[in-house]
Structure 1
């Protein structure tokens, strides 16, 4: 199963994020970012948000397919980071785009976590024994409206990307971005789309590395940073849109 990099959805779904992680001086306490205490806070925040939403059943919203992606947090040279993949140019869909490892739910997958882990093992040769799964985030719709994607937050611990065993049929390369640079305002941009008569929506773009991160990958990253580092990540979308009854305190 190939990984998925998704283009812009028709609407955005924003996370409600409350709380702040401890900071030392002007920089984030790196120990806190991927710590058990922050894991506990994030899981509690996600559970509270899910409980507050009255979501429709998939069959009522037109969703007929499910997919999942892994958000692989890690330490690289003592820097809290996130892993991304560059999709193979040989793929029929979304070739050469930046993505998180993941794909469509297959028969035998027990849940979205199982899908994200299986796909990550297939694409990266990920050692699943070293993955600390924090849990699923809120699902987002694919632009076609018939696919729902669930991001799975996980901590890989200390890694060296050279140790990944890539499936080059699906992935050209793997790279990491440190979370502090992703949180920087100078590496943040946004694009607003205004199709009549709905009024439009805004999507984030992350700069500063060798690859520009955009589309649904950037939207998921925006939500992730709001969740794991609300005291550090302060970039906001100027024209957000929500899905259903989702409440947003941070855009």
Structure 2
């Protein structure tokens, strides 16, 4: 099946906004609270498992991304990247640092840490892994493991300017507020695609967080909201 390409996701109609869902209290979004929740291994079901490569013509491949939560004085922020516009895949999109599992990697944590160092120059010495989220299957047949980590501030980044146009931080409280979660539906040639977005207005521009990145963040919300 040919994958309907979405080149301007911000123009796809919004079908609903989840302002009816509960907002997480501030004490659920601290470093200690996240560490405890991920360690508890509570029983929960992720809301988004992905499209499972239904549009891909190749075998699934392993990948991992880092979900880097920076411990700022004003609260946790999420460090994200904007991909460069010339890339063949995911050009210009907002992403977690990460990538394909390589043979020398000893599991998804090793992949996430290596890719983060290569893409944005964030040293693993400032990263403390606190858990993982369920695997997310992308439309391009990657089986992505999100690795959640706390990041000590005071770092200096060195971006791989071939892959990464910029790195920026978004308050975790904004991303975990379902009033900012928007559902979209796209139909092309009888094929339907649905996706989630979390647009964030930064100091100088809007960042349209959508697709797999938004889906994995929504799964984090579901974990933290589980009683």
Scaled by the length of structure 2, the TM-score of the pair is 0.72
SS of corresponding position for 2:41: helix
- Count of residue pairs the alignment pairs up: 192
| Equivalent residue number for residue 77 of structure 2 | 81
Q: 1:122-137 maps to which residues of 2 (within 5 A)? A: 122-137=118-133
Shift of 1:103: 0.4
SS of corresponding position for 1:29: helix
Q: Are residue 179 (structure 1) and residue 193 (structure 2) matched? A: no
Residue deviations 1:65-105, cap 9 Å, x none?
10111111112352211111001123222211110000001
Do the aligned partners of 1:139 and 1:148 also contact (CA within 8 Å) in 2? yes
Do the aligned partners of 1:63 and 1:148 also contact (CA within 8 Å) in 2? no
Give me the whole-angstrom Cα distance separating, in 2, the residues matched to 1:85 and 1:101. 7
Give me the whole-angstrom Cα distance separating, in 1, the residues matched to 2:36 and 2:73. 24
Q: Are residue 155 (structure 1) and residue 147 (structure 2) matched? A: no
Q: Are residue 97 (structure 1) and residue 93 (structure 2) matched? A: yes
SS of corresponding position for 1:158: coil
Q: Given the alignment, which residue of 114, 117, 141 partners 1:118? A: 114
Q: 1:93-242 maps to which residues of 2 (within 5 A)? A: 93-144=89-140, 146-159=141-154, 163-193=156-186, 202-209=194-201, 210-228=206-224, 230=225
Shift of 1:196: 10
Residue deviations 1:119-143, cap 9 Å, x none?
0010111110121101221111121
| Equivalent residue number for residue 55 of structure 2 | none
Residue deviations 1:223-247, cap 9 Å, x none?
122224x28xxxxxxxxxxxxxxxx
Give me the whole-angstrom Cα distance separating, in 2, the residues matched to 1:215 and 1:94. 10
Q: Which moved more, 1:212-221 or 1:175-184?
A: 175-184
Q: Given the alignment, which residue of 29, 36, 41 partners 1:40? A: 36
Shift of 1:185: 4.4
Do the aligned partners of 1:204 and 1:218 also contact (CA within 8 Å) in 2? yes
* Unmatched runs of 5 consecutive residues or more in structure 1: 1-6, 9-19, 51-61, 232-248
CA RMSD after TM alignment: 3.1
* Unmatched runs of 5 consecutive residues or more in structure 2: 1-6, 10-21, 46-57
SS of corresponding position for 1:75: strand
Bigger share in strand: 2
